[in-house]
């Protein structure tokens, strides 16, 4: 059979919905859109398909969904009594139709490209008419607003459900337009974004003139029904509380809770996996971008190249900040945010934040003042990283949205006890300000005060949402006061416990790390990231080799020894976890293995340690971060060739000869010293200690064991601890000299 095209159900331009005059323009527009949608109808019985605008539809006999279905339910549950049986059928139909209404609304909103609530609603009654459900007559007293005052009262003069009963000649004791209430409330709930339900207050199947419905938020439906009964006395509305349709009424609480738990776990797991995967996909290229940017900054550049490079670095850092925000959001949702507790001195923390933001302040020529109570010089217990994140978000926003004037920070003690104190931190700016109506929305996720602001200043709209949640998790509050073009004032109140007495601390200097020929194996399949890491390490005196898979790493380790391994977790074939286990269990190697991964997610570090790794470095990492983590696993070298190099004017052949002599002779001297001590031969102890004092001085060992050897010469005796220390240092020096890389001599 050939496809048969048919026109829409009604080709006339008679309105398919009746509404108050002030709504007519909007509903006429909706009717045009829906009419056009339904004009494209395709029937093909040979395929069993009915398609409207490329969407498949099904026809169901009206009575089957109304009278016949309810008759079946009444018969099936006859032992429960008519009232309860009808209630079971009503709740079942309402639940299905409410879900259908929400999903149809969602699909139509997308197709019709409508965004405001009333426009979304307008397509619903027209859609009702074109699909044969009912003609909708919205009464003028309705108040369709997206808030608690939402109220809709409407008639269905030709409801398909009531019509099924009327045509059969039967009468019902109950209102029967159940699917209409469910579908219409579902459509409106999706349109207005608030919970809604509907109740039929009169029905033609009961002998009433009209099928009339009231829709509102569930907790106000009874109030509206009673008001309707008073103002429309000709309608017989019972004064007893109405039976408001509920979802899945017959399901037990245990079933609901179990289903909700399973769904929540699956949803949380799926979201966590998605966020982790997206984090990995974004962090991996960012590692190369930021890493090579750092390396380029160390080369000779023109002023223009420096400018371009700074732009790349700023853009990469902004992107990383957004990724970190999304990660924090996911952790907050999964309740996986944890807080450390360590001594923090608030004025010092605020000073470090000022240093971080100094370049931005200078660029915008903004004044910045910070005033703190003397009482806050005491150390308080807090999570320094999270506290910095909170303040950076607020102060960073203040700088972003301020073009003239300045930023003022004040920190004061509101309340103090012997155990702790309540601190108020105020951040004021002279920026663009926030309109009163928008001030609460800025703490919502993915929200900024204005789309124009988002276009001009950028940002994901996550910073303040995360800030508020962090503040609240720390037991504090955050509030806002703002005036347009006058500026904003954020107030953060946080409780702190007092720390113990504060010892003298020194500002930590930037760590200088040198590889001294230490051999690092970089296991990384991303070519750019492996190249970047190898360059970083080589520039700092490390010997570096690479492998692009776990199998290749195992092969390399069977041929040559590595002092440390940087192990990417997401490598082809054997992943980083399995490769590490093979290194530990099959190769029996115990060198430090540091995980490098873009999966910066909770539990990842613990998973790495469980697999046999020693540490964990999330991507993207900076050069200093990489060197810092490696330095934790560098054996402190005891040898120093500076004296030999200086005295021989870098005579490499002579230095090599001195090394060979020491490596050969020192073990014999140590053995002879131990024998002399055991035999209590004082003269021999003196002679060997004197010889060792001379030889070890060439290799910088005197700082380690010079005093012990000098004491042996004076007393002609060696205490067990002295002898053990001399042996340990000399043996380490011998090992270092045997494994000395050629680069260490240059």
Candidate ranges 29-43, 60-74, 679-693; pick with highest mean pLDDT: 679-693
Give the up-direction half-sphere exposure of residue 541: CA atoms within 13 A in the CB hemisphere.
18
State the average pLDDT for the chain: 81
The per-residue pLDDT for 6 is 45
Q: Does residue 8 contact residue 39 with C-beta atoms inside 8 Å? A: yes
Task: Using the predicted structure, report yes or no on whether residue 491 has a pLDDT greater than 90.
Answer: yes
User: Taking the domains of the chain in order of start, what are their residue ranges?
Assistant: 21-244, 263-332, 341-498, 519-632, 641-744
Residue 332 Cα distances to 310, 391, 557, 746, angstroms: 33, 18, 41, 53
The angle at the Cα of 118, spanning 112 to 119, to the nearest 5 degrees, equals 20
Least confident of 138-142, 363-367, 386-390, 561-565: 386-390
**Which residues, listed in sequence order, are joined to residue 200 by a DSSP beta bridge?**
213
Per-residue pLDDT band for 489 (boundaries 50, 70, 90) equals: very high
- Name the CATH architecture for the domain at 21-244: 2-Layer Sandwich (3.30)
Query: In terms of C-beta density within 10 A (0-12 exposed, 13-18 middle, 19 or more buried), how is residue 420 classed?
Result: middle
**Which residues, listed in sequence order, are joined to residue 428 by a DSSP beta bridge?**
408, 489
The per-residue pLDDT for 30 is 86
Task: Using the predicted structure, report yes or no on whether residue 526 has a pLDDT greater than 70.
Answer: yes
Task: Using the predicted structure, report yes or no on whether residue 151 has a pLDDT greater than 90.
Answer: yes
Task: Using the predicted structure, report yes or no on whether residue 130 has a pLDDT greater than 70.
Answer: yes
Topology (CATH) of 341-498? Heat Shock Protein 90 (3.30.565)
Per-residue pLDDT band for 314 (boundaries 50, 70, 90) equals: low
pTM above 0.75, yes or no: no
Per-residue pLDDT band for 240 (boundaries 50, 70, 90) equals: very low
The per-residue pLDDT for 397 is 86
Structure-model confidence comparison of residues 436 and 668, the more confident one: 668
- Do strands 136-138 and 152-155 pair parallel, antiparallel, or not at all (unpaired)? antiparallel
Q: Compute the distance between CA of residue 439 and CA of residue 550 in angstroms, rounded to an integer.
A: 53
Per-residue pLDDT band for 581 (boundaries 50, 70, 90) equals: very high
Task: Using the predicted structure, report yes or no on whether residue 338 has a pLDDT greater than 80.
Answer: no
- Name the CATH architecture for the domain at 519-632: 3-Layer(aba) Sandwich (3.40)
Q: What percent of the chain has pLDDT over 90?
A: 22
Task: Using the predicted structure, report yes or no on whether residue 238 has a pLDDT greater than 70.
Answer: no
Least confident of 240-249, 587-596, 634-643: 240-249
Topology (CATH) of 263-332? Helix Hairpins (1.10.287)
Average pLDDT over every residue of 108-113: 83
The per-residue pLDDT for 192 is 94
Average pLDDT over every residue of 460-471: 74
Task: Using the predicted structure, report yes or no on whether residue 539 has a pLDDT greater than 50.
Answer: yes
Residue 538 Cα distances to 429, 487, 557, 743, angstroms: 46, 50, 19, 11
Candidate ranges 153-157, 389-393, 516-520, 741-745; pick with highest mean pLDDT: 153-157
Provide the greatest CA pair distance for the chain.
129
The per-residue pLDDT for 5 is 45
No. of helices (H) and no. of strands (E), the chain: 24, 21
Q: What digits encode the pLDDT tens for the residues 639-691?
A: 888 888 877 777 888 888 888 899 999 999 999 999 999 999 999 999 999 88
- Contact partners, residue 740, CB within 8 Å, separation at least 6: 517, 659
Task: Using the predicted structure, report yes or no on whether residue 17 has a pLDDT greater than 70.
Answer: yes
Per-residue pLDDT band for 142 (boundaries 50, 70, 90) equals: very high
Q: What digits encode the pLDDT tens for the residues 174-201?
A: 899 999 999 999 999 999 999 898 999 9
Task: Using the predicted structure, report yes or no on whether residue 81 has a pLDDT greater than 60.
Answer: yes
The per-residue pLDDT for 558 is 92
Instruction: Map tokens 């944890």 to a residue.
Output: 338
Per-residue pLDDT band for 520 (boundaries 50, 70, 90) equals: very high
Average pLDDT over every residue of 307-330: 66
Structure-model confidence comparison of residues 331 and 253, the more confident one: 331
């Amino acid at each position: 059979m050939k496809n048969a095209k048919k026109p829409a159900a009604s080709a006339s331009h008679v309105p398919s919905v009746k509404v108050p005059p002030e709504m007519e323009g909007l509903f006429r527009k909706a009717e045009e859109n829906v009419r056009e949608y339904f004009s494209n109808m395709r029937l093909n019985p040979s395929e069993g398909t009915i398609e409207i605008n490329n969407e498949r539809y099904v026809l169901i006999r009206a009575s089957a969904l109304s009278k016949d279905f309810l008759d079946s339910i009444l018969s099936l549950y006859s032992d429960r009594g008519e009232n309860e049986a009808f209630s079971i059928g009503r709740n079942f139909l309402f639940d299905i139709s409410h879900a259908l209404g929400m999903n149809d609304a969602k699909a139509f909103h997308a197709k019709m490209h409508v965004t405001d609530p009333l426009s979304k609603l307008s397509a619903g009654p027209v859609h009702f008419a074109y699909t044969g459900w009912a003609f909708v007559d919205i009464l003028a007293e309705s108040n369709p607003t997206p808030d608690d005052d939402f109220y809709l009262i409407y008639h269905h003069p030709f409801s398909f459900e009531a019509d099924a009963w009327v045509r059969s000649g039967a009468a019902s004791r109950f209102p029967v337009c159940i699917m209409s209430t469910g579908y219409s409330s579902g459509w409106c709930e999706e349109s207005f974004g608030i919970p809604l339900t509907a109740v039929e207050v009169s029905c033609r199947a009961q002998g009433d003139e009209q099928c009339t419905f009231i829709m509102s938020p569930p907790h106000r439906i009874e109030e509206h029904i009673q008001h309707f009964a008073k103002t429309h006395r000709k309608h017989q509305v019972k004064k007893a509380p109405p039976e408001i349709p509920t979802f899945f009424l017959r399901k037990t609480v245990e079933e609901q809770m179990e289903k909700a738990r399973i769904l929540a776990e699956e949803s949380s797991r799926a979201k966590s996996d998605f966020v982790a995967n997206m984090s990995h996909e974004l962090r991996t290229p960012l590692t190369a971008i930021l890493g090579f940017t750092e390396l380029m900054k160390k080369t000779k550049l023109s002023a223009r190249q420096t400018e371009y490079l700074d732009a790349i670095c700023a853009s990469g850092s902004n992107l990383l900040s957004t990724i970190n925000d999304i990660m924090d959001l996911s952790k907050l949702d999964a309740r996986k945010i944890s807080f450390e507790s360590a001594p923090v001195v608030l004025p010092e923390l605020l000073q470090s934040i000022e240093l971080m933001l100094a370049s931005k302040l200078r660029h915008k020529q903004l004044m910045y003042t910070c005033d703190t109570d003397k009482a806050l010089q005491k150390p308080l217990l807090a999570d320094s990283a999270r506290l910095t994140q909170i303040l950076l978000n607020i102060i960073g926003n203040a700088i972003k949205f301020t073009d003239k004037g300045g930023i003022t920070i004040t920190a004061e003690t509101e309340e103090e006890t012997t155990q702790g104190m309540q601190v108020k931190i105020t951040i004021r700016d002279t920026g663009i300000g926030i309109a009163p109506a928008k001030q609460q929305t800025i703490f919502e996720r993915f929200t900024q005060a204005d789309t124009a602001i988002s276009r001009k200043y950028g940002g994901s709209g996550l910073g303040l949402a995360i800030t508020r949640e962090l503040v609240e998790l720390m037991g504090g509050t955050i509030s806002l006061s703002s005036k347009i073009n006058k500026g904003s004032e954020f107030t953060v109140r946080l409780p702190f416990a007092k720390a113990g007495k504060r010892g003298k601390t020194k500002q930590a200097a930037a760590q200088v790390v040198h590889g001294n020929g230490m051999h690092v194996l970089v296991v990384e399949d991303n070519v750019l990231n492996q190249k970047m890491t190898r360059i970083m390490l080589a520039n700092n005196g490390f010997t570096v080799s690479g492998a692009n898979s776990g199998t290749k790493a195992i092969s390399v380790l069977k041929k040559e020894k590595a002092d440390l391994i940087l192990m990417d977790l997401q490598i082809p074939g054997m992943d980083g976890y399995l490769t590490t286990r093979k290194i530990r269990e099959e190769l029996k190697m115990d060198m430090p293995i540091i995980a490098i991964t873009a999966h910066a997610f909770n539990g990842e570090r613990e998973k790495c340690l469980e697999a046999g790794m020693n540490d964990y470095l999330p991507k993207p990492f900076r050069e200093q971060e990489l060197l810092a983590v490696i330095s934790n696993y560098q054996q402190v070298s005891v040898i120093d060739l500076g004296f030999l190099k200086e005295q021989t004017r870098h005579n490499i052949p002579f230095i090599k000869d001195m090394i060979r002599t020491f490596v050969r002779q020192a073990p014999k001297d140590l053995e002879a010293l131990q024998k002399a001590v055991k035999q209590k031969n004082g003269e021999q102890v003196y002679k060997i200690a004197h010889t060792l004092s001379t030889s070890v001085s060439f290799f910088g060992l005197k700082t380690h064991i010079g005093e012990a050897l000098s004491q042996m010469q004076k007393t002609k005796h060696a205490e067990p601890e002295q002898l053990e220390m001399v042996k340990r240092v000399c043996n380490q020096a011998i090992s270092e000299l045997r494994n000395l890389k050629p680069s260490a001599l240059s």
